[in-house]
């Protein structure tokens, strides 16, 4: 993609939700829209601020949210609380900043055409209404997981939620092949608050004037068409953003990373045979118990395949407290004889694109799922909460490009899964690999001239240009 240097006098204001999995797609989208001639202002919270130095062509405007990484508020363990808080604390600073951005733009003979904000920043709908500024919602997750969000009231009515242990394996007949255990819930003592947040997300998205999806038609045509009927507003499935955006001059996969990506793993991967390494990462928020950590570690070691494992700070929790160091048994690493490589944070897109990587053991965050598809890497799915559970079921049972742990993770099963996917003598594994390569090609085609995402992007640009400047 060539960056068009000529600006068109139209400025867009973008507001990402301050979590890694939300910042990445929003900044990729910013790059895409910049390449189409729009000027870009990113209003962002000081909590988990992106690094403006990585995007010299955008204007960054921080707003104070009062959340510090040291406070309890910022704990990823209380994601629900954090999202509620952000939607309260950001209202006034965001409104003030938006007023300033609109007025500065006028002074510069530009006009702000619209606000593009994360779907979970639902408070922005009310603010943009007061400015009579159109708001487009960015849904950073998939359409398939949005369907159960929309159906939550019905699922509660029909007794699927709250989930009963006796029903876990039952199919939700309204949205097959999802099982009850796949419903996008989180572990919270305050489920009512969670339901309310989902309703805010859905209603806020419905009230917007359009939705941008980081997805593509060939991947999610059926949930997209269901949602189109429900929402009756224009949809722009223009994903996968990162593939389009990474070919632009100014972006690299590390630009929007909140943590420093350890590049040393790439030279470690260089020393391995094609399709031999299992890459293990559970994203930026998920946490595991020390017991689960051990099952994973022993499973990886016993598979005898090389593995690259991202063990993020705070990822392992023991007795309710974060383990400062990964709780490996004594001598574990030495006994691997170099077969394991551990990093605190990886350049994930580069890793997945590396020919040595043969499978991705993932929590099925939407970005990770798309990134894996785009590189044709089969997945081992171990979802934790919310949309990850739906994504995992789609990976294993709809697209059939991976396998999923159906119960507790046990080391013997880990070994079986890794060998099934990585060693070429397994029929199911080979079919999975063929299907994911097919989907990779479909993703590529969607971005080519005439492809669905390419065409929707043109439609999005025209849609934005149709917003009249306010006098």
Pairing type for strands 59-63 and 10-15 reads unpaired
Strand partners, 303: none
CA nearest neighbour of 224 among 459, 456, 465, 436: 456
> Cβ atoms within 10 A of the Cβ of 85, count?
17
Among 119, 134, 283, 326, binds ligand UDP (CB under 6 A): 283
Work out which of 285, 316, 357, 390 binds ligand UDP, going by CB under 6 A. 285
Binding string, 297-316, against ligand UDP, x = CB under 6 A?
-------------x------
The residue range among 34-42, 127-135, 231-239, 367-375 that interacts with ligand UDP, by the rule CB under 6 A, is 367-375
**Which span sits near ligand UDP by CB under 6 A: 146-154, 359-367, 407-415, 429-437?**
359-367
CA distances from 300 to 277, 381, 416, 417 (A): 11, 15, 10, 10
Two structure tokens written together for 211: 């939705």
Binding mask 370-409 for ligand UDP (x = CB under 6 A): -x--------------------------------------
Minimum distance from CB of 89 to ligand UDP (Å)? 21
Residue pair 186/386 in contact (Cβ under 8 Å)? The answer is: yes
Nearer to ligand UDP, 117 or 261 (CB): 261
Q: Which of 93, 148, 184, 365 binds ligand UDP (CB under 6 A)?
A: 365
Stretch that binds ligand UDP, among 14-22, 72-80, 174-182, 205-213 (CB under 6 A): 14-22
Residues of this chain, 107-146, that bind ligand UDP according to CB under 6 A? none
Dihedral over Cα of 305, 306, 308, 314: its sign = positive
Measure the CA–CA gap between 25 and 38, rounded to whole angstroms: 17
Mapped onto helix, strand or coil, the DSSP state of residue 355 is coil
Rounded CA-CA distance 449/459 in Å is: 13
In this structure, what DSSP letter does residue 332 have?
A: H
Give the footprint of ligand UDP on residues 21-80 (CB under 6 A): 21, 24
Least CB distance to ligand UDP at residue 296 (A): 15
For 92, which DSSP code?
Answer: H
How many C-beta neighbours within 10 Å does residue 451 have?
18
Q: Which of 357, 29, 52 is nearest to 215 (CA)?
A: 29
DSSP-derived pairing of the beta strands 379-381 and 357-362: parallel
Q: Rounded to an integer, what distance in angstroms lies between the CA atom of residue 312 and that of residue 297?
A: 15
Length of the chain: 471
Which residues from 235-264 bind ligand UDP, rule CB under 6 A?
Answer: 257, 261
- Of residues 152 and 309, the one with the C-beta less far from ligand UDP: 309
Residue pair 213/452 in contact (Cβ under 8 Å)? The answer is no
Per-residue binding string, ligand UDP, 331-350, x by CB under 6 A, is --------------xx-xx-
From 205, 367, 396, 453, residue interacting with ligand UDP (rule: CB under 6 A): 367
- Contact between 28 and 242 under an 8 Å Cβ cutoff? The reply is yes
* Residue placing its CB nearer to ligand UDP in the complex, 204 or 240: 240
Residue closer to ligand UDP by CB (options 145, 349) is: 349
CA–CA gap between residue 432 and residue 418 (Å, rounded): 13
Is 214 one of the binding residues for ligand UDP (CB under 6 A)?
Answer: no
Contact flags string 418-447 toward ligand UDP, x per CB under 6 A: ------------------------------
Q: How many residues form the binding site for ligand UDP (CB under 6 A)?
A: 21
Judged by CB under 6 A, which stretch of 15-23, 108-116, 205-213, 432-440 contacts ligand UDP?
15-23
Give the interface with ligand UDP as residue ranges (CB under 6 A): 19-21, 24, 257, 261, 281, 283-286, 310, 345-346, 348-349, 365-368, 371
């Amino acid at each position: 993609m060539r960056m068009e240097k000529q600006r068109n006098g139209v400025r867009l204001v973008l507001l990402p939700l301050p979590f890694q999995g939300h910042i990445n797609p929003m900044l990729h989208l910013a790059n895409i829209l910049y390449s189409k001639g729009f000027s870009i202002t990113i209003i962002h919270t000081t909590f988990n601020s992106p690094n403006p130095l990585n995007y010299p062509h955008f204007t960054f405007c921080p707003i104070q949210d009062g959340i510090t990484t040291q406070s309890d508020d910022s704990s990823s363990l209380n994601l629900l609380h954090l999202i509620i808080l952000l939607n309260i604390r950001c209202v006034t600073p965001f409104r003030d900043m938006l007023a300033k951005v609109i007025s500065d733009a006028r002074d510069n003979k530009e006009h702000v055409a619209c606000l593009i904000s994360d779907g979970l920043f639902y408070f922005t709908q009310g603010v943009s209404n007061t400015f009579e500024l159109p708001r487009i919602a960015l849904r950073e997750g998939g359409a398939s997981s949005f369907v159960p969000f929309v159906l939550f009231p019905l699922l509660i009515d029909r007794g699927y939620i709250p989930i009963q242990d006796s029903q876990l394996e039952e199919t939700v007949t309204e949205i097959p092949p999802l099982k009850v255990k796949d419903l996008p819930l989180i572990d919270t003592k305050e489920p009512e608050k969670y339901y309310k947040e989902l309703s805010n997300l859905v209603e806020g998205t419905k009230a917007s004037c359009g939705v941008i999806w980081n997805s593509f038609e060939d991947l999610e045509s059926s949930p997209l068409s269901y949602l189109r009927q429900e929402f009756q507003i224009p949809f722009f499935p223009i994903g996968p953003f990162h593939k389009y955006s990474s070919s632009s001059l100014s972006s690299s996969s590390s630009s929007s990373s909140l943590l420093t990506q350890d590049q040393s793993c790439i030279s470690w991967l260089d020393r391995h045979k094609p399709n031999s390494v299992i890459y293990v990462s559970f994203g930026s928020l998920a946490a595991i118990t020390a017991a689960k950590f051990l099952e994973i570690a022993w499973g990886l070691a016993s598979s005898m395949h090389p593995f690259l494992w991202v063990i993020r700070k705070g990822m392992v929790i023991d007795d309710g407290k974060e383990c400062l160091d990964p709780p490996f048994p004594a001598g574990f690493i030495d006994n691997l004889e170099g077969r394991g490589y551990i990093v605190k944070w990886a350049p994930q897109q580069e890793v997945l694109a590396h020919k040595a990587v043969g499978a991705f053991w993932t929590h099925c965050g939407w970005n990770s799922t798309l990134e894996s598809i785009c590189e044709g890497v089969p997945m081992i799915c171990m979802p934790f909460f919310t949309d990850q559970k739906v994504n995992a079921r789609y990976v294993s049972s709809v697209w059939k490009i991976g396998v999923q742990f159906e119960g507790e993770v046990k080391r013997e099963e880990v070994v079986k899964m890794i060998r099934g996917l990585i060693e070429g003598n397994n029929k199911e594994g080979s079919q999975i690999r063929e299907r994911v390569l097919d989907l990779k090609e479909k993703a590529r085609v969607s971005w080519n001239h005439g492809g669905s995402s390419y065409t929707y992007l043109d439609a999005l640009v025209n849609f934005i240009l149709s917003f009249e400047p306010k006098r």
